[in-house]
Amino acid sequence: MENNIIEILLVEDNLNDVELTLRALKKYNIANNIFVVHDGAEALDYIYICVENI
């Protein structure tokens, strides 16, 4: 099986939910790179920065 690197952008404003999500993803080895932002504005900023760096 191929080991593809999966990147996830997690947009969540509740820190408890962030912790639970990260714990679940880590437990099942779902993602190697997880980026956490806390609202839609931060998410858009992150996406725009990623697009500029391509």
Q: pLDDT tens digits, residue range 1-51?
A: 466 778 899 999 999 999 999 999 999 988 789 999 999 999 999 999 988
Please give the helix or strand (H or E) that residue 37 lies within, else none. strand 33-37
| Distance between CA atoms of residues 1 and 3, nearest Å | 7
pTM: 0.80
